[in-house]
Amino acid sequence: MNAPNKSGWKPVAPVSDAGAFGGPPTSTGNRALMLEEPLIFDIGTAGTTGVDLPQADPAEPNRLGAFARKAPINLPGLSEPETVRHYTRLSRQNYAIDLGLFPLGSCTMKHNPRLNEKVARMPGFADLHPLAPATTTQGALAVIYELAEWLKTLTGMPAVAMSPKAGAHGELCGVLAIRAALTARGDARRVILCPESAHGTNPATAAFAGYEVEDIPANADGRVDFEALKARLGPDVAAVMITNPNTCGLFERDFKRIADAVHEAGALVYCDGANFNAIVGRVRPGDLGVDAMHINLHKTFSTPHGGGGPGSGPVVFSEALAPFAPLPFVEKLADGTFHLVEEETAGEHHAQSFGRMTAFHGQMGMFTRALTYILSHGADGLRQVAEDAVLNANYVLRSLEDVLDAPFADAGPCMHEALFSDSGFGGGLSTLDLAKGLIDEGFHPMTVYFPLVVHGAMLVEPTETESKASLDQFIAALRSVAERARAGDESLKQAPYYAPRRRLDETAAARKPVLAWNDPNLT
């Protein structure tokens, strides 16, 4: 074995059992060209740097004052080649949409077109300052305005708030507008109903906004139990929060009937629009009676799913809620110029706004990418986005329903997600074992154990960006692992075998995370 280095680290082979890869473990931990990579603290040396910096003149005054460093911070120093190799090696141990299909259901990890990235990096967007005068940001304001107009058109809603920075932030925005509308009419309702088939953030948002949350059961088809919902409506119910299509990947067929019943009871309808990519260009939520709905730009309009700065979750509003929408918003003047309507310029029509959601209005990186995606597709192309997403999901569902239990396969076609369960697995195997086995086949696992209404759930969303060839590869891999699970192949309990790390204790990792590096020489 290799001796430990200065911090106690020593190479560890990715697997402990000899012969797992056709030969004995290596002494370095490396496996062919997949190199074992230690922490940067273990390979770097304090005092080393990849650049030459001039020595500070001791005669010069210290400009840091009380903030001057009093002791060495011992940051690791590497040469430029070492730095580049370190992060490149780490990146090869990760999975990305540029490597293969990302089958996560409920997350919509679709391809981010390079055209979007090019536009987002254009001068005037990439280097825009949030406090720049409106006279110097007309192009950016025009982008926000045009994107807002597209969102209103696609949803059939008269107003939209562009400031929320994420889906959950958008949910909060919608619920706050609902609360403001009820307060304005002197109606102190305290309960929000959340069906079992709704996203988990819905009840969390309602509770965060100060409401009591009650759940509504799903029926045998995986949809909202309309009779149970109607029976619970009353003068204490402020709103119903429904995800459509829902977390079972199914369209809520009774949505219009639900909305009519909710409105008749004096309550309002919030729709979780995270799955709008399944119906964009085909269904306008405003026609179904929706009062507020957030739109995840990363899910429907291909902006990055995190990692690129603030996200974006615009919220569209009905006529009933438009006066209570947050400020600011972009307005187009008669002379063709644009300006932000703030509190002091809102006018009487927006005097009932509940306020602001965030300090600054725009997430220009998200707005430019989303508008680029929309303009490059057009209305007909966006309709095809939904159709292809639904086609791909049904192709996955029907290709695997003979080897994986599909609990709602008889409820009709799914929408953008195919839902399976671990029913029928042998040898005490579970969903987790199948997911780990799929890693060995070269694919990121699907969403597991969600939605909660299905035991051992496996939720697959192929999105519209995957070709039939790539879907066939994924289906073949998943079929292979599913057949092993049904046969009770206990080797799956130790999977993955070929990943950079073997199976981890995920419970301990969640309860006792190690988030900082400690120098073993100092402890």
Bridging pattern class, strands 315-317 and 292-294:
antiparallel
Q: What is the DSSP letter of 218?
A: B
Phi, psi of 51 (to 5 degrees): -130, 155
Contact 35, 85 (CB under 8 A): no
Residues 177 and 354: their CA atoms lie apart, in Å, by 7
- Put simply, whether the predicted model's pTM sits higher than 0.85 gets the answer yes
Bridging pattern class, strands 268-272 and 292-294:
parallel
Residues 197 and 215: their CA atoms lie apart, in Å, by 10
**Closest to 93 measured CA to CA, from 35, 38, 12, 31:** 35
Phi, psi of 317 (to 5 degrees): -130, 150
Count H helices, E strands: the chain?
13, 12
The pLDDT score that the predictor gives to residue 344 is: 64
Residue 169 carries which side chain, given as an amino acid letter? H
The pLDDT score that the predictor gives to residue 107 is: 85
Angle at the Cα of 313 from the Cα atoms of 308 and 314, rounded to 5 degrees: 130
The pLDDT score that the predictor gives to residue 62 is: 80
Residue 12 carries which side chain, given as an amino acid letter? V
In this structure, the dihedral spanned by the alpha carbons of residues 330, 334, 336 and 340, taken in order and rounded to 10 degrees, is -20
Q: Strand, helix or coil at 115?
A: helix
In this structure, the dihedral spanned by the alpha carbons of residues 102, 105, 111 and 112, taken in order and rounded to 10 degrees, is -120
Q: Which residue has the tokens 């709905």?
A: 293
- Dihedral sign (CA 404, 93, 499, 449): negative
The pLDDT score that the predictor gives to residue 285 is: 97
Tens of pLDDT along the chain (523 residues) come to 334 444 443 444 444 443 344 456 677 778 788 888 999 998 888 878 888 878 878 888 888 888 888 888 888 899 999 999 999 999 998 898 899 999 999 888 899 999 999 999 998 888 888 889 989 999 999 999 999 999 999 999 999 999 999 999 999 999 999 999 999 999 999 999 999 988 889 999 999 999 999 999 999 999 999 999 999 999 999 999 999 999 999 999 999 999 999 999 999 999 999 999 999 999 999 999 999 999 999 999 999 876 556 789 999 999 999 999 999 999 999 999 998 888 766 666 677 899 999 988 878 999 999 999 999 999 999 999 999 999 999 999 999 999 999 999 999 999 999 999 999 999 999 999 999 999 999 999 999 999 989 999 999 999 999 999 999 999 999 999 999 999 999 999 999 999 988 898 889 999 999 888 887 776 5
Which own/partner contact pairs does 68-75 have at CB distance under 8 Å and 24+ positions apart?
72/46, 74/46, 74/519, 75/44, 75/46
Contact 273, 328 (CB under 8 A): no
Q: Which residue has the tokens 């999975």?
A: 95
Distance between terminal CA atoms of the chain?
24
Residues 239 and 295: their CA atoms lie apart, in Å, by 19
Q: Give bridge partners of residue 239 from the DSSP assignment.
A: 192, 268
Residues 213 and 210: their CA atoms lie apart, in Å, by 9
The pLDDT score that the predictor gives to residue 200 is: 86
CATH topology classification for 381-511: Aspartate Aminotransferase, domain 1 (3.90.1150)
Phi, psi of 269 (to 5 degrees): -115, 120
Q: Is residue 90 within a helix (H) or strand (E), and if so which, with residue range?
A: helix 80-92
User: What SS3 string covers 382-431?
Assistant: HHHHHHHHHHHHHHHHHHHCCCCECCCHHHCCCCCCEEEECCCCCCCCCH
